[in-house]
Structure formats: structure tokens, C-alpha cells
Amino acid sequence: MSPNGSEQDARKKAAPAGHEHGASPRLPPAEPDLKGPAAEPDLKGPAADMLLHAVRGQFLHLVELAGPARQNAPDAVHQMRTATRRMRSVLKAYRKLLDPPPDRLEGGLKWLAGELASARDAEVQAERLGRLLVAASGDQTQSEVQGQAKDNGSGSDRHDGGTAPDERDAGGTGSDRHDGGTGSDERDAGGTDGHHDTSGGAEAEAHDDGGPGTDEHGDGTSSDRADGDARPDLARQLQRQLERTVLPGAPGTAPAVRRLTSELAEWLDAGHRQVVLALDSERYRQLEADLEVWLDHPQLAPLAFEPARQVVPRLVGRQFKRLRAAARSALATPEGTERAEAALHKVRRRAKQLRYAAEAAAALSPVDVAALGQAAHEIQGVLGEHQDAVVARQLLRRVAARAAYDGEDTFLYGRLDALEQATAQEAVSRFHTLWDRYPSAKPKSWGKPWKPS
């Protein structure tokens, strides 16, 4: 056998199926096989296998959730947005494996996540207001009420990683409330900022992570649901909570409670309308098609054919360095300022990006990489709680200003704002504690071949 032949054989063994060097790319099948994600990537296999496994798992999850999201099923928008953002984060973290970079896909995923943002933010704030009003009617703090909700199995804990299907499989999508909650990355570029947008997605490009899209898998009834039936389960739950707690003991607060409830109902409705418009759009259909084609024959860089155990740790390490730089900057910023809030939000984004990159690679080295992902998840949750409190205070102040203009009492708004301020301060303190015990920046196997036990 000639030397050239030996080299070609070696490359074929290292390359993922269908991506051998020198081979003509396969054309996408007329009906792409979307039965399920590929098997777990092999420890000694090429880095491309790990990347494609993670992206395909999230894409399948996205397709499955489009129908439920159009029908406003509980938690569907949240999970769909999480899958969207996971794909985008993984593609960005492992860009060095791709040539050319998939800018079109990343742009489409950014657009879609932004289009789903308003609906998810409204859900988060509606759930949050229910807990907050319970706290305001007694002596409990917001965190105590939230802890009771988790103990009782009620309420959705955005920080938990929860029970959503396929959230940890195939590169992970946990039912992590802060994957798609209020104060998300979409606001980094002028997103929702806690306020509903009735434009139906006309300003989609202002969002950092999202946009409109269509779902050809739905049953065609979403237009009926869009006419005001926005998460009736949340609306009824919130109303019952108010009737049991706040209104009986403090009848003078009824106008404020009704005003807040009305504001959130409008926000929920507008958010759902935006989701339906997005999932009915040509842009969403094109995004699905682009992802199918890319998964069938991705354009890979030479580095993608190197063993994952040698390549992936360095790429995950780059995400850690970005988180460390953001955390150091935040810790050096005076607390209680807008700069501090922005710095903490950046830490949260970096933690989320590290978490997604690490979880995509967790099968390769559970000890070294998964530990970093879990630690990043904890920071993401704590700072997500901080960001939710910031957005809730903005909502309360905006509604209180309108109430004052109409001559209504604003005491309740002040009480709620004080509770949220305390929640935000507690979250910052918890972040400091978490960062002090964060895993080392350089596990011994990083940048070297892994030697799993």
C-alpha cells in the first residue's frame, strides 16, 4: 500500500460517517431521517461526533416542541427557547471545528430565541408575582416562598434544571428556568426588558437571541388560540392566589392587584401572539430546513477530525476563561449601580455558555468537564434570580407610575419593590460565595489527552 493510501485510510477512520476527507458531500435526502439523535460519541472518536450529536439532539427537541408552543402548552415555549439557545451556544463554543463558521444558522437561532423571549418572560413574571404577593401579605421573604413552592412540588423552579425531556440528553437541555427566563440575553441588544411587545415581532432583530418562525408540524389551530387565550392556566392560578392571600387581608390593595394582573395578562397575550407569528413565518421554515441540511453534511474544519479528548478540553477551557474574566470584572464593580447590574448579567451569560459547552462534552469526561458545567449552572441560576428581580422592579415601577397618575394608592408597589430589592441583594451575596469555591481553571487533563479512570 502506498504512503498516500495509508494516510487516506487513517483519515477515513478518524472522520465521522459521511464526512471523509476527499469524499463528495452527500446531498440531503428528500425526507431527512429525524428519528432520534445519534449514539453517544466515542471517547476516542473525532471531535465532530460530539458536536453533531449535541446539535442534532437539540434540533429534534426544537421540532417536537414547535406544535405545543403554538398551542401555548405549559412550558413549551420555555423548552423550545432553551433548545434554540443551546444550539447557538454550542455552535459558538466549538466554532473552531467548523469551516466556514455557520453564521447563517447562528443568526437564525438568535432571531428565534428573541421571538420566544416575550412570552417566556411574561410567564416568569406571572409566576413570580404570585409568590411575591404571598410574601407581601405575610412576614415571609420572596426566597422563603419560592423554597416552599419547590418543597411542595408547585411552581416552576427556573434555576433547577428540572424535568423537561431530553434536557440533559444529546447535549442537554434541562428544564432550567434561567435558560429562557426574564432578563435573558435578548435584552442585551435591546430586547424585551420585562415589557410586552405588541408588535408581533416586528422588532425581532433587536433581540440578541431570538426571532419569529413557522411551524409546519402544528395542527393549524393556533390562530384561534392567538385570540386572547394566553396561558389561561397561569391567569387562573394567579387569580386564585390573589383571592386566597392578598385581597381578604388587605382590601385596599385590590386596585393595585387588579392593575398588575391586567398588565401581566396583556403581556402573556402579546407574547403568545408573537410566538405564533414567528412559528408561522417563512423564516422559521427556512431555519428548520437550514439545520436539516447542515446536520446532513456539515462543513468541518480539519480540527474536527482530531480526537475529541485532545480538542474539546481546550475549547471548553476558552469558555471558562471568558467566564472568569467577566466574574473578575463584576466583582471589581461597585454594587448597586447600573454598571454592576450589567456586569452581573454578563457573568450569567458567560456561565450559561460554559455550561452548555461543558454539558455537550460531559460524556467525554464526566469528572473534569461536567463539574464545571454544574458549577456554571449554579451561578447561572443565582444570577438569573438577580436579573428576574431587576426586571420585576422595572415592571413594578412602570405600573406604579401609571397608578399614581390615576390617583391610586401605590403602597403595595413599594412593598413588592422592597422585596425584590432584597432578593437581588441576596442573589449577589450568593454569587460571591459560589465564585469563591468555583472549580479550578485548569483541571490537570485540560489541553492533554484525557485518561479516564
Which tens digit of pLDDT belongs to each residue from 409-434? 898 899 899 999 999 999 999 999 99
How many other CB atoms are there within 10 angstroms of residue 117's CB atom? 33
Is 200 a member of any domain? Answer: no
pLDDT at 234 over 50: yes
- Report yes or no on 418 lying in a domain: yes
What are φ and ψ of residue 307, in 5° steps? Answer: -55, 135
| Helix/strand/coil for 300 | strand
pLDDT band, very low/low/confident/very high, at 397 (cuts 50, 70, 90):
very high
Beta bridge partners of 300: 98
Q: How confident is the model at residue 137 (pLDDT cuts 50, 70, 90)?
A: low
Radius of gyration of the CA atoms of the chain, in A: 23
Q: Exposed (0-12), middle (13-18) or buried (19+): which is 256, by Cβ within 10 Å? A: buried
Considering the chain, what is the average pLDDT of its residues? 73
**Residue 19 in this model has a pLDDT that exceeds 70:** no
Q: How many helices (H) and strands (E) does the chain have?
A: 14, 0
For residue 161, give the DSSP letter. B
Q: What pLDDT shows up at residue 439? A: 75
pLDDT above 70 for 97: yes
Is 90 part of a structural domain of the chain? yes
Question: Amino acid identity, residue 391?
Answer: V
The answer to whether 29 and 18 are in contact (CB under 8 A) is no
Whole-angstrom CA distances from 306 to 19, 50, 360 are 13, 11, 17
For residues 34 and 37, what is the distance between their CA atoms, to the nearest angstrom? 8
DSSP state of 27: P
- Count of the separate structural domains present in the chain: 1
pLDDT, position 217: 33
Q: Which amino acid is at 34?
A: L
Neighbours of 444 (CB within 10 A): 10
pLDDT at 147 over 70: no
Report the pLDDT value the prediction gives residue 444, as an integer from 0 to 100.
46
Q: What is the residue range of 353's domain?
A: 51-155+173-195+205-436
pLDDT of residue 5 exceeding 50, the answer is no
Coil/strand/helix, residue 254: helix
Model confidence at 146, in pLDDT bands (50, 70, 90)?
low
Decide: 264 and 239 in contact? Cβ < 8 Å. Answer: no
Contact yes or no for 304/47 (Cβ under 8 A): yes
pLDDT of 289 over the 70 cut: yes
* 167, pLDDT greater than 60: no
Q: What is the pLDDT of residue 368?
A: 66
Q: Which residues of 375-386 are buried (b: 16+ CB within 10 A; e: fewer)?
A: bbbbbbbbbbbb
Listed range (16-20, 298-302, 421-425) with the worst mean pLDDT: 16-20
Whether 113 maps to a domain, the answer reads yes
Asked whether residue 267 is assigned to any structural domain, the reply reads: yes
pLDDT of residue 310: 85
d(CA 432, CA 421) in angstroms, rounded, equals: 17
Per-residue confidence (pLDDT) for residue 115, from 0 to 100: 98
- Identity of the residue numbered 450: W
Q: What is the mean pLDDT of residues 246-254?
A: 56
Assign residue 193 a region: left if phi > 0, alpha if psi is -120 to 50, beta otherwise? left
Of the candidate ranges 42-56, 62-76, 318-332, the one whose mean pLDDT is the lowest:
42-56
Q: Dump pLDDT digits (tens) for 373-393.
A: 888 999 999 999 999 999 999
Whether 161 is covered by a domain: the verdict is no
**CA nearest neighbour of 63 among 204, 179, 214:** 214
CA-based nearest residue to 352, from 392, 323, 316, 395: 323
CA 124 to chain centre: 13
Give the per-residue pLDDT at 23.
Answer: 37
Cα–Cα nearest to 94, from 324, 300, 350: 300
How many residues would you count in the chain?
A: 453
